[in-house]
Structure 1
Amino acid sequence: MSPVQLKVPKGVTVLAPVDASQATILTEEALQFLATLHRAFNPTRLALMERRRVRQQEIDAGKMPDFLPETAHIRNSDTWKAAPPAPGLVDRRVEITGPVDRKMVINALNSGAATFMADFEDSNSPTWENNLSGQVNMRDAVARAIEYRADNGKHYTLRQDGKVATLIVRPRGWHMEEKHLLVDGEPCSASIFDFALYFFHNAHTSVANGFGPYFYLPKMESHLEARLWNDVFNMAQDLIQIPRGTIRGTVLIETILAAFEMDEIIYELRDHSSGLNCGRWDYIFSFIKKFRFNPQFILPNRADVTMEVPFMDAYVRLLIKTCHRRGVHAMGGMAAQIPIRDDPQANATAMAKVRADKEREVRAGHDGTWVAHPALVKIALEIFDQHMPQPNQLYVRREDVQVTAADLLNPRVAGGKVTEVGIRTNLSVGLIYTEAWLRGSGCVPIHNLMEDAATAEISRSQLWQWAYHGHRTDEGVTIAPAYLLRLLDEEVNKLKAQPGNSFPRIDLARKYFATQITGKEYADFLTTLCYDSILSVPHSASRL
């Protein structure tokens, strides 16, 4: 489709081509709305990113996280609660997640799950095409006008009984920028880009349809970052004249620092809060990342870091207690397993893991859980229906739970090992995922698991940590940079040797990944490290 000429407000520059469908998203009015939010809040965002950098320096110098003394009055008070659950968010027993491509959106809405988290973040490679087409798909989904015809002629539409999942959108985190669009010469905040375009086009329609503009908020590291979201919500609602509190946001607790500020995060968003979620994979990534220089925090193979290890168990128990004390949902984490169609025995084993995981969550007091594949919805529903016949478990107060800072920081993993198999698994996952991301795919089935950016982050962070500390494998091999780079090249050659090699950007993926596993250079995020390679703008513009 030929690109069209956009009419843009003063100070806004669109650097990439837009087709006729995408131009209906980037209208002059929508761009003005976006620019207004960016101008108002990007300075605060940048200051908060600097605050993250300073906090990391403090941790590196030995100042470990703890509950904030200046906000103790918020944690200790029993006099405040967040807003009651909003329409469509009272019963969230199973939530399905996935990227914003058209077929996935239809299948997820039809899956039988209570809600669908449409993801512009970790399961979306943020190409210009993906982001804008995703916004088109969101608008059509909210309008109940979305359909798709596959190359084989199969026609996908929404189910006719009206029983579609409540839509929740996850914008990108505060750390990311949208370099295809400039406001007054600077790249737009990716969070504001994703939020503003969805909200502007869909807020009124979603309310008319009986739900609201609902969001999942990722990667936050402090209650001040939640305060920024709340300020964005208030201004956005005022600008289009809908009541404050119409928006609801569920915060993913997926950084170790946020775990110490759960009460405060809910408090900052209290008129807009719909709870917290255990973002387990990013949480493990954050745990490694924040303490990567400390030898006491070396973790074993990813497979050994289960929900039963002390720092993971403590954070889950504290999250459930905190949410229910404040009257909001405590959502469980992702089941990454996917059906294994060509191996019934392996599939049975994988599904048994899903069942055990979901039973652990519902018995702990979670109000719902995540799955990544429509086939897992039925399994999760059966378990939650059995143990939670009512819409949620907000009445389960968990007053027995007492979690200390030491509990949240306990890295002990009984029986955990670092092995060559674990190293090769990390290399393989990291390479395959990065290569796919560079091609525009952010949600990738690897080794019978649905992997996204979070698991690739765990993979490279573990390798970096082991190399930095010269850790030894269970087989007695010192994990040195040369050793990891040799194994990396072996894994690259395995992928290249596969019949019908489908990894066209594997050499670029290897180039990026090799910089992140030697215990020297360490990028804050793989996605920001690789972002310039997926831009649809002149190279000079990518340096802005």
Structure 2
Amino acid sequence: MAVPQEHLAAATARVETGATGYEAILTPEALAFLGRLHRLAEPRRQQLLAARRQRQARYDAGELPDFRADTAAIREGDWTVAPIPAALQDRRVEITGPVERKMIINALNSGAKVFMADFEDSSTPSFANQLDGQINLRDAVNGRIEFTSPEGKRYQVGPNPAVLVVRPRGWHLPERHFSVDGEPMAGALVDFGLYVFHNARTLQQRDLGPYFYLPKLEAMEEAALWDEVMAFAEDELDLPNGCMKATVLIETLPAAFQMHEILHALRGRAAGLNCGRWDYIFSYLKTLRGHRDRLLPERGQVQMTVPFLKAYSELLIQTCHRRNAFAMGGMAAQIPIKGDQAANDAALAKVRADKLREVKAGHDGTWVAHPALVAVAQAVFDEHMPTPNQLDVKREDVRVSREQLLAPCPGTITRAGFDNNVEVGLRYTAAWLDGLGCVPIHHLMEDAATAEIARSQIWQWLHHGGVEFPDHAPIDFALFDHALAAHAHRLRDSDVPGASRVDDAAALLATMTHADTLGDFLTLPAYEQL
């Protein structure tokens, strides 16, 4: 989007502006607030990102993640998080999705207890998407959001909408359209800052937060920075201390070893932890990218019942309930299959089995990606969790070791599994580059996390060498190059989302796959092509 630049000396901030409606969000006061957030957090953010790189270098050299010796007193201590607000006491079903206007209305009306409005993995962070999302959320908070489709169908929020929780971008993602003192801002602070500046007072007056999901954290120090940012914002906006509450997604392997510490860092505002299963699998692959003995089979075989994922989820439940925080389950990515009742029934059966596993293990709630799955998940939790939550289920039987959290799972890599990874990586990346961050592919709702799994698995299988299909045929670069070219040729003139960006996506995936080092995030180089 070609827009002029506006210089605001009061904040010494630069922002691209001028599009209709954005002036109500990008007010001088709001941008000045962003400038103050940046100056508060940016030096520490850069230190924490450097610490990530140093930690990864040690893993690449052969070290393995472990529980921290210097924080044993926190893990062993007798403490709990602050009381959790009434609005978050029953979270049995949460729905997630991008900050698109129609999606917000449908999610709020879905019957779920919570809607997580996502500026991160299910949104392409174009300037228009992020700012339109801020407008949409402002309108939702103020009770005036509505939408009329091109066909004339009108959408508006009904009574008893879901509680709104917002996920800003992770600490690692820049926002090039906003800069302070010549430095680009963190996408996390832009998303968080604009949302709280325009909505926090209204939400707080209704005892509705504001509430957040915090993604991609790797260490307690990163959680502590969020706590500092939220405390600063509360003071700046004249809000009660601790009214902002946060649920942390445990979706990185390093964070699994610091669950107690992360809750402790946020203990005045922590509402729980969430099993971000897809990103967690990606993080396992990325963190252990240099360890050939930790290769995983194809994605379809890496289910939550495999030992390392079962250990992770049970440790999360035990940790949360010991600290009086909620333990949220993971995403059901299935979407309704129209025109094939048998296939649809099979998909719903998988969802029920997954949710049954979660509720019996002690989770306080779960995630779905499609409104049609809300009732399916809720029926399971209603039957097995008649109370608002399961904080009384302490899971004192759980004993999880370092080795259990790191254990690879057995399985195979089939030709179909390899090909599916190539297709999902290509189709998702193309759609992302075209502005769509939440993409239905083969009856699953794919987001950045699943694309990250796909391209990371391919990289590992190719770069470690000697990896074979069950018939002993080698998995090599020639096979990948052929599969990528074949899918690109097939998709180039198709009607799939992002078809016009297929060649760009193929070139990006080829470069990242052939690179000597597995790239940290697909979305970082992709962002440069938006």
**Displacement after TM superposition at 1:310 (Å):** 1.1
Which deviations, in whole Å up to 9, do the C-alpha atoms of 1:34-80 show, x marking residues without a partner? 110101110100010000000001111122111111100010012x1
Match of 2:491 among 484, 488, 495: 495
Aligned equivalents of 2:140, 2:235: Cα separation in 1: 24
Match of 1:374 among 371, 392, 396: 371
TM-score by length of 1: 0.95
Is the Cα contact below 8 Å between 1:7 and 1:27 reproduced in 2? Answer: no
Shift in alpha-carbon separation, 1:9–1:81, aligned structure 2, 3 A = farther
Match of 1:320 among 313, 317, 320: 317
Deviates more, 1:500-509 or 1:349-358: 500-509
State whether structure 2 residue 62 is matched by structure 1 residue 62.
yes
**Displacement after TM superposition at 1:519 (Å):** 5.8
TM-score by length of 2: 0.97
Deviates more, 1:495-504 or 1:471-480: 495-504
Is the Cα contact below 8 Å between 2:245 and 2:270 reproduced in 1? Answer: yes
- 1:463-478 equivalences under 5 Å are 463-470=458-465, 471-478=467-474
Corresponding position of 1:135? 134
Match of 2:183 among 182, 186, 197: 186
Deviates more, 1:287-296 or 1:486-495: 486-495
Shift in alpha-carbon separation, 1:163–1:291, aligned structure 2, 3 A = same
Shift in alpha-carbon separation, 1:514–1:240, aligned structure 2, 3 A = same
Is the Cα contact below 8 Å between 2:6 and 2:15 reproduced in 1? Answer: no
- 1:10-159 equivalences under 5 Å are 10-78=10-78, 80-159=79-158
Aligned equivalents of 2:375, 2:170: Cα separation in 1: 31
Q: Which runs of 5+ in 2 are unaligned?
A: none
Is the Cα contact below 8 Å between 1:142 and 1:205 reproduced in 2? Answer: yes
**Displacement after TM superposition at 1:342 (Å):** 1.6
What secondary structure sits across from 2:16 in the alignment?
coil
Is the Cα contact below 8 Å between 1:11 and 1:185 reproduced in 2? Answer: no
Deviates more, 1:391-400 or 1:467-476: 467-476
Which deviations, in whole Å up to 9, do the C-alpha atoms of 1:138-196 show, x marking residues without a partner? 1111111101111111111110xx21000000000000010011111010011111101
Aligned equivalents of 2:210, 2:24: Cα separation in 1: 19
What secondary structure sits across from 1:42 in the alignment?
helix
Is the Cα contact below 8 Å between 2:211 and 2:244 reproduced in 1? Answer: yes
Match of 2:529 among 510, 525, 533: 533
Aligned equivalents of 1:158, 1:57: Cα separation in 2: 49
Is the Cα contact below 8 Å between 2:95 and 2:112 reproduced in 1? Answer: yes
Corresponding position of 1:361? 358
Which deviations, in whole Å up to 9, do the C-alpha atoms of 1:86-117 show, x marking residues without a partner? 13101000000000010000000000000000
Corresponding position of 1:282? 279
Aligned partner letter, 2:263: I
Match of 1:481 among 477, 480, 489: 477
What secondary structure sits across from 2:499 in the alignment?
coil
Match of 1:347 among 341, 344, 347: 344
Deviates more, 1:218-227 or 1:201-210: 201-210
Is the Cα contact below 8 Å between 2:121 and 2:447 reproduced in 1? Answer: yes
**Displacement after TM superposition at 1:419 (Å):** 1.3
Deviates more, 1:451-460 or 1:28-37: 28-37
Corresponding position of 2:225? 228
Is the Cα contact below 8 Å between 2:430 and 2:497 reproduced in 1? Answer: no
What secondary structure sits across from 1:450 in the alignment?
strand
Is the Cα contact below 8 Å between 1:14 and 1:181 reproduced in 2? Answer: yes
State whether structure 2 residue 442 is matched by structure 1 residue 447.
yes
Shift in alpha-carbon separation, 1:501–1:86, aligned structure 2, 3 A = closer
Shift in alpha-carbon separation, 1:501–1:450, aligned structure 2, 3 A = closer
Shift in alpha-carbon separation, 1:4–1:106, aligned structure 2, 3 A = farther
Aligned length: 529
Is the Cα contact below 8 Å between 1:3 and 1:20 reproduced in 2? Answer: no
Is the Cα contact below 8 Å between 2:302 and 2:409 reproduced in 1? Answer: no
What secondary structure sits across from 1:148 in the alignment?
strand
Aligned equivalents of 1:495, 1:503: Cα separation in 2: 6
Aligned partner letter, 1:29: E
Aligned equivalents of 1:405, 1:481: Cα separation in 2: 34
Corresponding position of 2:506? 510
State whether structure 2 residue 242 is matched by structure 1 residue 241.
no
State whether structure 2 residue 433 is matched by structure 1 residue 438.
yes
Aligned partner letter, 2:157: L
Deviates more, 1:487-496 or 1:27-36: 487-496
Corresponding position of 1:541? none
Is the Cα contact below 8 Å between 2:213 and 2:248 reproduced in 1? Answer: yes
What secondary structure sits across from 1:65 in the alignment?
coil
Which deviations, in whole Å up to 9, do the C-alpha atoms of 1:412-438 show, x marking residues without a partner? 22xx11111111000000000000000
**Displacement after TM superposition at 1:18 (Å):** 2.9
Is the Cα contact below 8 Å between 2:175 and 2:184 reproduced in 1? Answer: yes
**Displacement after TM superposition at 1:15 (Å):** 4.5
Aligned equivalents of 2:306, 2:99: Cα separation in 1: 33
Shift in alpha-carbon separation, 1:386–1:487, aligned structure 2, 3 A = same
Is the Cα contact below 8 Å between 2:334 and 2:444 reproduced in 1? Answer: yes
Aligned equivalents of 2:166, 2:15: Cα separation in 1: 25
What secondary structure sits across from 1:212 in the alignment?
coil
Which deviations, in whole Å up to 9, do the C-alpha atoms of 1:295-328 show, x marking residues without a partner? 1111111000000111100000000000000001
